[in-house]
Amino acid sequence: MHAHFAGATSDPRSLLAALVLILAFLVFEIVLAILGHSLALLADGAHMLADAVALGGSVWAARLARHPPRGSWTFGLKRAEILSAQANGITLLVFGALIAFVAIQRLVHPPAVQGGIVLTVAAVGIVVNIVAAGILRGSARDSLNVEGSYRHIVTDLFAFIATLIAGAVILTTGFARADAIASLVVVGLMFRAGYSLLKDTGRILLEGGPADMDVTAMAQDLAGQTQVAEIHDVHVWTITSDFPALAAHVLVDRDVDCHGVRRRLEELLRHRYGITHTTLQVDHVSDNLIPSGSILQSRSGHSAPTGSEAPRDS
């Protein structure tokens, strides 16, 4: 069963709306950060810049992902969204490292910081990020591309909360190091979000199966179906967000409708495991059949040795 257009693709309109909002606030924040001599605001500004870059890349990737399969691009350009999400993770780690370096310096030699400006900008930033997160939240459930941008925004939201607290501390106590401490809190959030994105996208790019799927148990489920003798060479991978694919070699009992078994297995995979893109090679068991590859499960309980590719007889 082949569903080349399956899988989630993000809506460029929601990404574009969030991008415009972030860019407008970015200009406002950077100007006041310079006037207020606040590293926490500059850190937030750098993170907002990373947000803008991430959102811009996400908009571009979302448009690419909508291109249909053509020529040698048999799955279209759906994985552009995964590359964009990975770039989002990398930018979070890079910006976080740069901010951490400057924050440590400011812990040692804290400059004068205007707490009122920090407090005001942080309060506006919280509102802006809540709105942007609300725009992206629905789409983030279905697309790793949008989820990458959403994580940027949510991380920024918590960062502005930390900055708001720092501004209040500076304004009431004059403790200037609160600005650098808030910056390091932002860095920790950026590292956490960046690592999570790189782990998720790396799994897809390395052709790993869906993180929430037990592939061995699924293969055993298939092998335990009526008229199925053995199943081996099972491969499960993810094309892009919410688009798993499967290929396997299935051996069925003699004198049964192998195509009927194949259709039944495809229905099971679609309804029980959410896999709509499947390639099942189905053969009848014969006395001289030596299956290739390693057998994950046999209904009869025996394992066949590894050998040459079995001939098709269905």
The number of folded domains in the chain is 2
Residue 269: what pLDDT?
93
235: CATH = 3.30.70.1350
Tell whether 40 and 162 lie within a shared domain.
yes
Question: What range does the domain containing 257 cover?
Answer: 215-298
Cβ-contact 282, 313 below 8 angstroms: no
Tell whether 38 and 91 lie within a shared domain.
yes
The domain boundary, picked from 151, 181, 205, lies at 205
Q: Which residues of the chain have pLDDT under 70?
A: 1-12, 40, 43-44, 47, 65, 138-145, 287-314
Cβ-contact 130, 69 below 8 angstroms: no
| pLDDT tens digits, one per residue of 11-60 | 667 778 888 888 888 888 788 878 777 776 776 677 677 777 777 777 77
- For 95, 98, 133, 141, 246, the CA distances from 195, given in Å and listed in that order, are 13, 16, 20, 19, 28
Tell whether 49 and 151 lie within a shared domain.
yes
- Tell me, what amino acid is at 85? A
Tell whether 186 and 233 lie within a shared domain.
no
Tell whether 220 and 155 lie within a shared domain.
no
Which conformational region is residue 47 in: left (phi greater than 0), alpha (psi within -120 to 50 degrees), or beta? alpha
Tell whether 112 and 247 lie within a shared domain.
no
Specify the pTM. Answer: 0.68
Give the relative orientation of helices 177-205 and 144-173 as an angle to the nearest 10 degrees. 170
Whether residue 291 lies inside any domain: the answer is yes
Tell whether 41 and 188 lie within a shared domain.
yes
Cβ-contact 186, 47 below 8 angstroms: yes
Residue 288: what pLDDT?
43
Tell whether 115 and 257 lie within a shared domain.
no
The domain boundary, picked from 205, 233, 261, lies at 205
Q: Classify residue 76 by its DSSP letter.
A: T
Whether residue 162 lies inside any domain: the answer is yes
Cβ-contact 247, 279 below 8 angstroms: yes
Tell whether 193 and 132 lie within a shared domain.
yes
Tell whether 194 and 262 lie within a shared domain.
no
Measured CA angle at 56 (ends 53, 57), to 5 deg: 85
Tell whether 132 and 63 lie within a shared domain.
yes
Residue 293: what pLDDT?
44
Residue 116: what pLDDT?
81
Dihedral sign, Cα of residue 164, residue 169, residue 172, residue 176? negative
Helix extents (H) in the chain: 12-36, 39-65, 80-108, 115-140, 144-173, 177-205, 215-223, 258-273
C-beta pairs of 62-71 under 8 Å, 24+ apart in sequence: 62/9, 62/10, 62/11, 62/12, 62/15, 62/143, 62/145, 62/146, 63/12, 65/9, 65/10, 65/145, 65/240, 66/9, 68/4, 68/5, 69/4
Residue 305: what pLDDT?
36
Dihedral sign, Cα of residue 38, residue 41, residue 46, residue 49? negative
